Structure formats: C-alpha cells, structure tokens
Structure 1
Amino acid sequence: MVEHFAQGVWTPLVACAVSVLGAFLGLRYASRALSSSGRTRAAWTALGGLSLGGAAVWSMHFIAMLGFRVPGTPIRYDPLLTAASAAVPVVVMTGALAVVVARRWRRLVVLPVGGVLVATAMLTMHYMGMASMRMDAAMAHEPLFVAGAAVVALGASGGALWFVGKRWTLSATLLGAGLLGCAVSAMHYIAMAGVRVEAAGAPGHAASGGVPALAFLTPMVIGPGAFLVLGTLLLLVLPDERPVTGEAAVP
C-alpha cells in the first residue's frame, strides 16, 4: 500500500500552482520569441522551454513526489538519473517551441508531430523520475494508467504548442496556463494511481545509495519559486517587440 498525499493537500496544491505558473511564463516567453528575431528569439525560446519543461513538468513532478510514501520503507533518489530526467523535457520542449516559433512548417504538421514528441518527453521524464527512486521494494506500473497518463500528456502537449502564437491576450494566456498546468498535474496523478509497490526488506530498511526524499524539498520549492519570480520580473522589465495592432501589448 502506498500513500500519495502523505504531506496533506499542500503538496498537490503547490505542485499544481508551480505547473500553472511555469506554463504561464513559458507561453509568454514563446509569444515574445514570435515577435523577436536572431539571438533575442533564441533566448526567449530557451526560456520558454526551460519554463515549460523545467518548472511546469519536472518541478511539478518532484514537488508532488514529496507526498509519496511507502509506509515502513524509506525512499531515496539517484541524483544523476534525477538530473537526466530534467534535461529530457527541457530539451524537447525547447526544440518544439523553436520549430513552432520559426513558422517554417504548417501548423497542421507541427502541432501533431510536436505534440507527440513533447508528450513522449513528459512521460519519459515521469518514469525516469520514478526509476530514480531507491527503496527496498519492487515497483510496478499498471498499463491502463500508463495509457491514461499518455492520453492526458498528449492533450497537454498539443495545447501548449497550440497556444504558442495563437492567443496574445493576457486572459487567454492565463486560461491556457491554467488548463496546461492542471493537465500536467492530472497526468502525474493518473500515472501514480497505477503504481504498485511491494516491500522486499525489513521495515525501515532503505536501499543503499541516493539522496533522502526530503533533501529535495529546498531545491524543488525555492529553486522554481526564484525562477518564476525572476521570470515574471524579466517580462515586466523588457519591452515587447511585437507591433501593437488595435490591442495593447501585454507582458
């Protein structure tokens, strides 16, 4: 038996909030990339990939995992595999945004192909994160829940790419970020609902190696929080290069 909300409702709420804020910044960065060119466009695109893949997906996962507990079985994490799981969604999301922003291919081709790639990266990140767990227990994932998470991940990925350059208004971006952040959170908890763990060792015995789960608390909360605050300030300070055509530009 496992617990998904061992720290109470605060863990899923904070995880979802970070995902929504990360999605919001990612969409705004992408819109800035569309109105820029050269190195400026590349910088905004990279920030968008970092925000969507890093904060909205990766940080959400590990913040949510602070509420995961197997009674009597301490959990540790492999640092190298955990770091690798962060690179996957960031790199793929940045690449997908670069293709969409470049507008060199038709959206009817880019959106489905990009959506599948990003969804695959999201799922890969999730299960790499799960594989990074070190505990004296056997873990299995039920195929039905894996398939359900894949469907939600595909919808979230397609939505993220569709909103890039499709809606300029602040209200529309807030709506898109809310939908995307909630979808990422839903994908995570659908996948986690299919986790089955069978303890193998004596109660209280932890597998060797790795870092204790609570050691992730500071970087998973303070790190993304600082990035989101600084990212918001960056949008407010730097002007939007997009021409104003009947509608006021928003940060």
Structure 2
Amino acid sequence: MNATVSEFHYGMITPIAAYLMATLGAALGLRCTTRSLRNARGERGIAWLTLGAVSIGCGIWTMHFIAMIGFSVQGALVGYDTLMTLLSLLVAIAVVAVGVFLVGFRGAGPLNLGVAGTFTGLGVAAMHYLGMAALQTGGTVHYDLTTVLLSVVIAVVAATAALWAAVSISAVWATLGASLVMGGAVSLMHYTGMSAVTVSLVSGNSAPSADTGQLSLLLIMLAGPMTVLLLAGVIVMFDPEVVLGQGDWNRKQARRSVRETAGV
C-alpha cells in the first residue's frame, strides 16, 4: 500500500531553516569566488576558490538534509544509511568545485558556463538522489519520472545561474540578492524532487513515523558541514575586501593613505 508522505512534519521550520542554510552557503561561496578573481591562478586564488566550492557544496547538502528532517512516512520509521549520506556530501562538494574552478580559471563564456553549469547541476541532482538512496523506510520508494526530470532541469538552471553570478557579480548587495535567489532555486529543486516520491509499505506495518535515534544521527552528521560554514563565515568576515568588495576596499585604503599623508 502507498503510505502518506509529508515534507512538513515539523511545519515550516525545516523549509525555512533549509532555505537559510542554502542562502548562507551561496553567499559565502559567491564572496569567496569574487575574492579569488584577482589572482585565481595563484595559491591564494586557488584557496579562495576551494573555500567557495566547499561553502556552496556544504550549503546545498545541509539544506537537503535539514529539509529531510521534516520528511515523514506515515506508518514507517525513517532512517538513513550513513555511508551513502556522507557520499552525497562528497559529491556535492566535488561537483560544485568542478564548476567553480572552471569558471574561475576559464571565465563565464557561454560555452564554458554551459558546460560547467550542466555538470554542476547534474551533480547537485545526483547528490539529492544519492541522499534519497540513503533513505531507509522499510518500504519501496518510487519516483515520478517527469517530476524527477523537472527537478534536474531546475538544478542545471540554478547551478548555471550561480556560476554566472560567482564571476559576474562583485557588489556586496548584489551578491546578497543573488544568494537569496540561489537559496530559493536550490530549495525549489529539492521540494520538486521530493514531490516525485511515493512510498509503498508492506501491509500491516504500523511502526511510528519518527525515530529519535536516527534523527540524532542525522543531526550529528549535519554538525560537520555546519561547522565548516561557520568557519568559512569567520574567514570571510575577517577579510575586509571580501566583505566590502574590491572597489569599496580600494577606496577605503585610498582615503586612509590620504589621511596618513596629511598627518591626520
């Protein structure tokens, strides 16, 4: 029999928290990528690109599994395979890194952006469905193919737009605006993919739909990427050029030089 499936077991708490994490990861990633463009081929540039890729990848993965905390199947325990879950995290970081380094080194020309965006978008979709493959319900998970394809298209479009923004937008407020849009696009991809899900359970299974132990395990796994995002945020906040933008930082330095020259 098909069980009743819900994405909102805890109401709007998990969708909002998931969106905020996706937005945070995008904002940090965009600022880091912007910072790298001055010397993308140097060691510092590579370090900033790496931090940007890790931030975006962790933001996307954290968004997915925070949203999954709100996923419930009536009449079944919901659990996750640990290794498959961690594999989905590595996939998220790796595919974002490929896209970020492609546009960071080769620019946002139409062909390069299309290749990078398509690869990254397909990778983000793969992360999502790997995360779903880690799902354990005691039943069989089915997908509506049309809705799955729609979620993949959304992932590709979102990834392409994100990579374009990473190398084309440098103003702080524009970056924040782009991050809000990116967070929404990634969340839309997730919930579109989840709308494709139905779960068939063995008749007579009357297990509760919440498992405190599994939820605790998921929260523990979320702690790692969330800590990475926190550290990335600290690094970004302590780099004035990332926070202010290159133009504002240069103007600030110029004003300081004038004051020092004038003996103020």
> Normalised by the size of structure 1, how large is the TM-score?
0.89
Q: Deviations over 1:81-128 (max 9, x none)?
A: 11111111211111211121112x661111111111011001100110
Contact 1:45 1:98 in 2 (8 A): yes
Equivalent residues in 2 for 1:1-251, closer than 5 Å? 1-36=4-39, 37-55=41-59, 57-103=60-106, 107-200=109-202, 202-204=205-207, 212-220=214-222, 222-240=223-241, 247-249=247-249
From the CA coordinates, give the structure whose radius of gyration is larger: 2
Cα separation, 2, equivalents of 1:29 and 1:119 = 20
Letter in 2 for 1:134: Q
Q: Secondary structure at the match of 1:8?
A: coil
Q: Secondary structure at the match of 1:23?
A: helix
Cα separation, 1, equivalents of 2:139 and 2:116 = 36
Cα separation, 2, equivalents of 1:2 and 1:214 = 21
Q: Deviations over 1:195-216 (max 9, x none)?
A: 010112622189xxxx713421
5+ unaligned residues in a row in structure 1: which ranges?
none
Q: How many residues align?
A: 240
**Greater helix percent: which structure?**
2
Contact 2:62 2:226 in 1 (8 A): no
Q: Secondary structure at the match of 2:241?
A: coil
Cα separation, 2, equivalents of 1:12 and 1:106 = 32
Letter in 2 for 1:111: L
1:224 positional shift:
4.2
> Normalised by the size of structure 2, how large is the TM-score?
0.85
Cα separation, 2, equivalents of 1:80 and 1:227 = 19
Q: Secondary structure at the match of 2:10?
A: coil
Distance 1:156-1:195 versus aligned 2 partners, 3 A rule: same
Percent sequence identity is 32
Letter in 1 for 2:166: V
Contact 2:73 2:137 in 1 (8 A): no
Letter in 2 for 1:38: G
5+ unaligned residues in a row in structure 2: which ranges?
251-264
